[in-house]
Amino acid sequence: MKYAVLVKLRAPGGITVNYPLAPVPSPHYPLPPPTTLVGALAYPFLRLREAKETVEGSFSPAVKILDMVPYASAGTDGWVRTREVERIFQLMYQRKDRWNDMSLAYSVGARGLSRFADDKLYVLYIVTEKSLIDYAYGIVRIGKKEGIVSVEDVCYEELEKTVKYKEMGTFETFFYFPKDIAVVQRGQVISMPKLVKENFGTTVSPVMEDYIVNNGFEPIIGELKTNGALIKIEDFEIPIPRMLLEGKT
């Protein structure tokens, strides 16, 4: 059985998630991508189990819950991108003969940051194990370790009971979703890492997928395609791939 889990968070300091393989001053995502959201849930899940930074094959330990989380998305009533100046550790980029020169250890850079309306961020997880839901209360950070968050509430329901539309129907949402499941009037296309094992390793070629993301403070308005579905949990309408309802992930 699958469950739709809505996690209501506060992120008073904002969140930073850079594009894959990009340096600190590079563009950043306005909302945390699916891989980052799974990592945020994996942290409390694994906290009391083991302290390994990687698993066999140099994969993040987050892969241990990947099969239990076939889908993740995030939304907010509004977001803005900004930047903050911070010290950056750069010794690993220096030549070996400079590694003992601590004057070269740090530099200054502009870190991209997303801030959310009223500091509120909402996260949707589709999970296959009910026991995983309890760990959502333990989410404490998203993205960089400075991205501290607090959980205000966790709501869940059997996925089938949340379905509002299958195949066709209009919607208005602040949650991002795969580009190919709907036709939209408003929104922007952003490529983000897919929920596949390769993206939790040391790959230099991340597996990406195009998502529709809202334009700051404007909701996405659209109509589902035949491969889409719309769920409603509390007051939130959220488009998802229809295959999640068919036992396929």
Domains plus CATH for the chain? 3-246 (3.30.70.3120)
Burial state string for 55-84 with b = 16 or more CB within 10 A and e = fewer than 16? beeebbbbbbbbebbbbbbbbbebbeeeee
- Percentage helix, strand, coil for the chain under 3-state DSSP, each rounded to 5: 25, 40, 35
CA–centroid distance for 218 within its chain: 19
What is the band of 249 on the pLDDT scale with cuts at 50, 70, 90? low
pLDDT at 196: 96
In terms of pTM, does the model score above 0.85?
yes
Check residue 19 and report its DSSP letter: P
Confidence of residue 51 (pLDDT cuts 50, 70, 90): low
- Give the integer Cα–Cα distance in Å for 182 and 169: 10
Name the one residue in this structure whose structure tokens are 């740090």: 106
By mean pLDDT, which of 108-112, 155-159, 182-186 is the weakest? 108-112
- The mean per-residue pLDDT over the stretch 191-213 comes to 93
pLDDT at 50 over 70: no
180: confidence class by pLDDT, cuts 50, 70, 90: very high
* Tally: H helices and E strands in the chain: 1, 15
**pLDDT greater than 70 at residue 151:** yes
Confidence tier at 90 by pLDDT (50, 70, 90): confident
Integer Cα distance of 197 and 62 in angstroms: 9
Per the model's pLDDT, the better-predicted residue between 46 and 51 turns out to be 46
Length of the chain, in residues: 249
Cβ-count burial of 189 within 10 angstroms (0-12 exposed, 13-18 middle, 19+ buried)? exposed
Per-residue pLDDT at 182 exceeds 90: yes
pLDDT of 62 above 60: yes
Lowest-confidence pick of 25-29, 78-82, 242-246: 25-29
**pLDDT level of residue 58 (50, 70, 90 thresholds):** confident
Q: What is the pLDDT of residue 121?
A: 98
Confidence band (pLDDT; 50, 70, 90) for 98? confident
The whole-number pLDDT of residue 145 equals 76
